[in-house]
Amino acid sequence: MARLHLFDLDGTLLRGTSAPVEISRQLGLEAETVALDREISAGLIGPPEYAARVHALWADLTEAHVAAAFEGAPWLARIREVWAEIRGQGDYCAVVSLSPSFFVERLTGWGAHAAYGSRFPAVPFTEPVDPAGVLSAAAKVLIADRLCEEFGVTRADCVAYGDSLSDKDLFGAVPVSVAVNADGHLAGLATHSYIGMDLWEAYELVRSSR
């Protein structure tokens, strides 16, 4: 049976940062977004409010800013190699993140079969963000179930990779999980734990356990 590998983005594929912080860095608004990241991590605000506030910060955002943020972000090493290996094994890989879809979806170019993020309007913005399109921790599980149906696998065939509170529901829904540079929210929940800068090393924890 094929397996489905589900990857978080912020703090997982991106080491020590988030897509919104990297986007904001291009606009000179990094500090403001780091503060928002702290608020949502502490549970002081929810995903819809976070999305509305970063959307407001990004009034001058262009596609060039987004491309520069993506290319300059501190990615873990060997992401593309891991996804090529997964594909070569006949398995599937997907990214599911609360970050904006216009950033997350770029990862299909690196080999992900699918990439889901919170739905934002097209850049540059001419309309507000719709709260109904903003993902949550619970939404990650719903998307995982949808992907299972699409790829012909079940939750029992899934491996989740994540780092924080937004991954907690998904870690509880699948049998195998890898905490990657994780915070305390995933303590005791993950099957495996990895601290480092190379996704291949994290992937090796589950590579042979089919």
Contact 205/192 with Cβ under 8 angstroms?
yes
Provide φ and ψ at 137, rounded to 5°: -60, -40
User: Stretch 144-168: mean pLDDT, rounded?
Assistant: 96
Q: Which helix (H) or strand (E) holds 33?
A: helix 30-41
Q: Is the pLDDT of residue 184 over 90?
A: no
Q: With helix as H, strand as E and coil as C, how does 150-161 read?
A: HHCCCHHHEEEE
| 206/188 Cα distance (integer angstroms) | 17
Q: Where are the beta strands (DSSP E) in 119-168?
A: 158-162
37: Cα separation from own chain's centroid = 14
Query: φ and ψ at 10, to 5 degrees?
Result: -65, 125
Asked if 54 contacts 33 with a C-beta cutoff of 8 angstroms, the reply is yes
> Angle at CA 110, nearest 5°, toward 69 and 123?
40
pLDDT exceeds 70 at position 210: no
With vertex at residue 143, the alpha carbon angle to CA 137 and CA 145, rounded to the nearest 5 degrees, is 115
> Taking the model in full, what pTM does it have?
0.96
The neighbour count for residue 65, using CB atoms within 10 Å, is: 19
Lowest mean pLDDT among 50-64, 111-125, 144-158, 174-188: 174-188
**Full set of structural domains in the chain with CATH:** 4-15+75-208 (3.40.50.1000)
pLDDT average, residue stretch 102-126: 97
